[in-house]
Structure 1
Amino acid sequence: MGRDNFHNSVLELKEEVIDMIEKVEIILQKSIDSLINKDVDLAREVIRLDDEVDGCMAKIEDKAIELIALQQPMAKDLRVIFSISKIITDIERVGDYCVNVAKETIKIGNEDHIKELIDIPKMRDIILNMLRNTKLSFKMEDVTLAYKVGEEDELIDNLYKDIYRDILALIHKDEKNINQGTKLLFVGRYLERMADHITNVCERIIYITKGEKVDIN
């Protein structure tokens, strides 16, 4: 394989990573929609769609191994391929957390929500924006944007603290709220973990571009 072909193969690999991120964006949107609308069928669709994300990961892993085997990559190429293998693991975990949200939705079923869901959709919107900017940062190797995305993790942490405080107050007020309240706390926690994994991806983008291992937060 010549250098040009190798370079094109790396670009194709990057496009497949972007495609995987876009699939996760879709299931994140659907998972929170299913919770808000108490739509159990949509929640089950999220669980099915996550299989596609897992399939993307397996395909990218195979191609990455093949690229390393076919030609001894230069230092930068090796950094890209190695980082991609780490990035897709984090993206796959985001998909898994969407599935966890869907499972909590199925457990809640048709119950009236114990509180209006305000902070959870806010968290979703921030995370979707983080994913979109992560794609752009990855494609353009934009370090400044990667840092900006990683710093948004703090917004998610603060919203999770708000959810935690509100739910605990509701549980304290009426023990009937314990069952659903616990499930909503789990959802908040899953969203908070998604942001952590996206931050990991941004740290990898910085490593690809500058060869520096950083801890954004």
Structure 2
Amino acid sequence: MKRNMIKSIAVKLVLTLVLIIGINMISKADEIRLVVKEDLASCTGVAPMTCMQVKYKTSKNWELFYSQISGFKYKPGYRYVLLVNRTKRTNVPADASAYEYKLKRVVKKVRMKQNTTTAWDFVLKHKWKLIQMNGVTQSESPVYMTFDGEKKRVGGKSGCNSFFGGFKKSDDTLTFNQMAGTMMACGPELNKLEHEFLTLIGDKTFRYDVADQTLNLYQGNKLVLMFGMAPLK
């Protein structure tokens, strides 16, 4: 009988301790308001990736958000206002966020109006095959690239290998960044083509335009690369 009483008291003490710890953890959570932008942006964590763009109460500009929000399902094209519980983490792993975020409530979800069709919208819809490089016509070139506007990623074939990376676009400029590729062995001609192409676009900024179904990349006034439109499939 006495042993059962002691066991019962011990169980109650453990439950009380768990409850106190839980209350303390909840009390450390801050409620914050986040505005989430309707499109993602290229960012770099442990590796190149895409991040949400957010504004806090004191933000003047959009800021990259490297964490995840538990319970929140993001959909591009919508701007959100969220109430989020933010909790300070202990024993934070390297390259991890100092906070954990949990959705409390979606205050507002608004579908943003799409801009009228632009030249860049046209670029996103097609595959672009290389037809000229440094003034030299490329007959039947295997080189092509496509752009993912939501993820801000570019990829394609650089010869016999595949390449991929990120890009940033302003009104009339296009910057390639964090370019990488596969490393299959190629013949001498493809090796030369591949090396020249990847050297030209690697971490470079170009002025671009679209004319007569060609995508043209310039450095200064020099036309460096010309691509012809091709179906995505």
Instruction: Report TM bin, short chain.
Output: under 0.3
- Higher relative CO (CA 8 A, sep ≥ 6), structure 1 or 2? 1
TM-score by length of 1: 0.22
Q: Which has the larger radius of gyration?
A: 2
Higher strand share: 2
Higher helix share: 1
TM-score by length of 2: 0.21
